[in-house]
Structure formats: structure tokens, C-alpha cells
Structure 1
Amino acid sequence: MNSPITGIHHVTAIASDPQRNVDFYTGLLGLRLVKKTVNFDDPSAYHLYYGDETGTPGSIVTFFYWPGGAGRGRVGSGQTTRLSFSAPAASLDFWYARLQKHTVSVKRETRFGEDVLTFADPDRIAVEIVAVANDGRTGWTGAGIAAENALRGLHTAELTVRDAEATEALVGGEMGYRLVKRDGLRSRFEAGAGGSGTYIDVIASPNGPSGLGGVGTIHHIAFRVADDAGELLMQERLGDAGYNVSDVRDRNYFRSIYYRERGGILFEIATDVPGFPDDEPVSSLGTALKLPAQFESARKQIESLLPALQPARQYT
């Protein structure tokens, strides 16, 4: 089935401490903080976005924050279960040494013929760096990591479900993905032009725990479409297939619809437009607190509730 979906737009997770999160993803992993805003549903909490120089769709990971350690989640079926980044093929030794030096426990694995480093962030969210030879995307070098080592964007997304059949039917049907390969209980699909940033891995976990949302888990995955026409096409197509799809919601930097697939994972479809430089220049992305228009009148109160963020810790 032809589809306007071209790959991953972003992945959103739940963390506990925004400063520690900035230090890890910007300081250690070298991503750029491209937008500092608030949770549209709770403006007393940050919503931070990381990515490449301009926040290109497919490079973006975002975080909500639940402070004080409250509401620890459980990773399991019904969730996206890992943040997966692409890096240049020759860079894994650099990343292995860098992570070890800064006391991050890291393992080497091979999956689908790819060399992979697996580790966890400070909230125990699973993260991996995958060596990819043919990824033409350019990573962010402003954090001091050279271009030949910089993370280039998201590689794949793990969708862990109790029974994969219905999830695979949606992915390969209404969403237009193509099956690439299978390995045991893991199946890889790709969208659009294919390659890194377009993959999703559906994992059947019939005997594993059920996921519970909270700190240390991934909240949702967003898939990208070019524009509003693609968004509305998918809204109609998914509704006709029996999915409970939301109205279109303006997220300032993209417009979104939301729905749950049959295995319980929250899916979003987000437009590439207007993008993160829409309200601040590329040179200063992520430096000012940007508020949705409905919260602007309460800026002083909101700013008083948010912890001050310092520049990311410098890792060498």
C-alpha cells in the first residue's frame, strides 16, 4: 500500500532530571539541544528536544520529565523499548572508549549483521549506537565530537508487543512499511527510501512483562510525513481501518495525530513542517525557553516553576 510515511520523525521518553538528561544526551552523546519548551499538557515541566544542527526529522529524541523519582515505569510489551542511533561505521571504538571512560556500562552485540553498542542512560532507558556505513546524514559537531564519530540520527525503533501479528499487519498495511528481514522473534520493516532512520523492528514478547509508563520508559514514537496532506491522508486511512485517531494537534514545530496500535504502543504521525527553526534562528536553537501561545501570558509563573538549566557538562 502506498503511504506518505517516510520513516521515523522522533521518539519521546520520560526522564527524571532535566539537567542530568542534558548532560548525557548533549554533553556525552553530542546531540544538539534544539528546542527548550514545556509539556503542552503540563507547562510546569520541561519538554526538551535533541537532534542534529537543525532538528531534522529522524534525528530527534525528546523527553518529558517527572521529577523526584516518582512514577518509575516498567519496560515491557506495549512499548517502544530502545533509543537506537546511527553512527559512522568506523566510530564504534571511539564510542566504546568514550562510554567506558565515563563509567557507562557498554556491551558489543551483532544484530541483523550490524555492529551495535548497547548501554543505558541515567534513567536506565535502553540506548544503542549502530555502526552504519551508508548513512548520508550529517551529525552535530558543536559539542566537540568530530564529524567522523558524530551520531547521525535515529536508526531504528524497537516496538515490543505481546503478539506481533496485528502490529505487523498495521505496519505493513495501512502504514505502508516493507518487511526487510526476520530473525527469531524480531522483524525489521522499512519505509520510504529505506535505510537508517526509516526502520522499525517489531519484537514479539509473548512471555515478557507488560510495560508500565513512567520514568525510564519511552512514551511514544512518531512517524514522519512531509506535510498536512500526508497527515490527513493517514488520519482518514487509519480511521477507516478502525483505529481511534485523534484530531490534528498543532505542536508548533509540527502537526500531529495520535493513535494506539493493537499491541498498545502509542503512535504519532508528525509533519516535517514547519520545523524547529520556525521561531528562532539555527544559530541559537535551544537557547531560549519557547512557550506555546496559550501559555505565554503565564511565562513568569512557568519560568519560576522550572529548574534553571546550565550548559551541558563537558566530557573529554
Structure 2
Amino acid sequence: VFQLRLASGRVVDVPLMDMKAAYAPNSMMMSEKVTHFAGAIGRFLSESPRRSNVQGGVFPAILGTVILVLLMAVVVSPLGVLAAIYLQEYAQRGPITRLVRIAVNNLAGVPSVVYGVFGLGFFVYAVGGSLDALFFEDRLPAPTLGTPGMLWAALTMALLTLPVVIVSTEEGLARVPASLREGSLALGATRAETLWHVVLPAASPAVLTGLILAVARATGEVAPLLLIGVAKYAPGLPVSTEYPYLHLDRQFMHLGFYVYDLGFQSTHLETVEGLVFATALLLVVIALLLNIAAVLLRSRLRNAFKPQEAI
């Protein structure tokens, strides 16, 4: 047993088997402190958690968060854009269209935990249970797809962020000048060709804005994930070298849930306080980088299509 005296004067007994490294910061040179700090950041980002998440890094949580957001974006992008195109370009103006728009706006205000309950009941139990009965009958009663996992979490988050993408894309389509459509049609293009080659490229900054808002929201949402796939510690990563390489049926770790678990569920508050703030900062940095990338790409697209808007 190794005894440590804290700054408060309290003596703590630490088993030697639990000690991974020891260092004396007061006797370090500045270069040594910088090297040690960089190494600590690297270990924090690349290692897996240990001892009920109170030690180690957050790599599984980072990987789970990134994969969830990417899957959500792949699902919500075509659905949101197609729905906005139909409402703006093809749907007739009438009470039904107005009701659909009201429903979309109301969905944006539904509490996120309600989406989690819906995802658990519809995707996990109804869809997943039906797929298990059709394709994995030999494994029953042990569920294969009828259990919370990455796939159902991504679909639920896609529903959660779908109104944001629809509203933003529809506003972008509405801002495209009518002269662009008329000029394209006058040159012999069909309505579909005009939409694909003229209208959508001009509205791409708005589409990207809606997508990045959806990604930023999905990055920090925790409440729905509590019901549909997130785990305090997942035994396996969502990706591996084993076929099919991307395991959508597995549970996963998430940075937002990691912060919640450490900050509100851990009994070692003095030990995990630094981890809570570091993980929260990492989550903010990831969301900030996503938004910065979106702003830069949106500005580039806007400048690319500025001559068309001036016609």
C-alpha cells in the first residue's frame, strides 16, 4: 500500500497494483511539464476507461459519439431534403400542406426523452422484434436486433433532428430566385433537371446549415440514448476487424452520457471531478469544430453560387 497526502492534509491509502504512474510536478522543468501534459492528453483521448470509468481515457465514448452522429447524418440528410423538396416544390398549397408544416414545427419542440420512448417501443420492440422473428428465429428468445443498439439509436436521433433539416432546407429553397428556375426551364431543362442542377446547388448553404445544426444537437443529446443503446461501459466497440466490421446491434458509449454518469452517478466525486470537466470540454470542442467546419463550407458554397443569385 502506498500512502498519499492530499493538499487538504488527508492521507489516502492507494494499493500499488492500482498505481499506473507517479510523477513530481514541482520538480519538473517547463519542457517536462509540457511533455507530460501532452502525453496525458494523448492517453486521455486514446485509452479505454478503467475502474468503473473513474480512470483511463474516453476513446470508446469518442468513437461511439462520432459513429452515431455519422449514421444519423446519413439517414436524416436524404429524408429531410426530400421532405423539404416535396413541401416547397411539389405539394399544393392547401390545408393538408399547412397541417404538415405545423406538425413538423411541433415535432421540433417535443422533449427529446419522448423520442427515446418512441424509439424503444417502435424501433427496438416492434421493428427489431419482428426482424428477430423473421431472420433470427434460431437465436430466440435471446434478442439480436430486438435490443437497444447503435442502429436504433441512430434512427431515433434522425427523427429527433429531422424537423431542423426540413425547416432549414425549405427556407433555403424558398430563397432561390424564381429567375433561376425560369431561365433553366426556358433553356429546355425539365423540372427535375432544374431542381437537381440549379435549385439544389443554390440552396446547398441552407441544407448544410440544417445538417450541421442537427449534428450539433445529436452530439450533445443524452436523454433518448438512455433508453435505446448507450451503456456505461460497452464490452465491444461498434467497429472491429471482425465481419461485418460495423456492428450496429451493439451497445455503445457516448460522451454526453459519460459526463452524466461521472458527474451524477459516481461515488468517487473527488477522483472524477477532473474527468468530468475534461470530458465536457472535449464534447464542447467537438461540437465547436463541427460548427466551424460547417460555417467555412457554407461560406465557400455561398461564394460559389453568388454570381447565380445576382442574375
TM-score by length of 2: 0.24
Specify which structure has the higher proportion of helix. 2
Specify which structure has the higher proportion of strand. 1
Larger relative contact order, structure 1 or 2 (CA cutoff 8 Å, min sep 6): 1
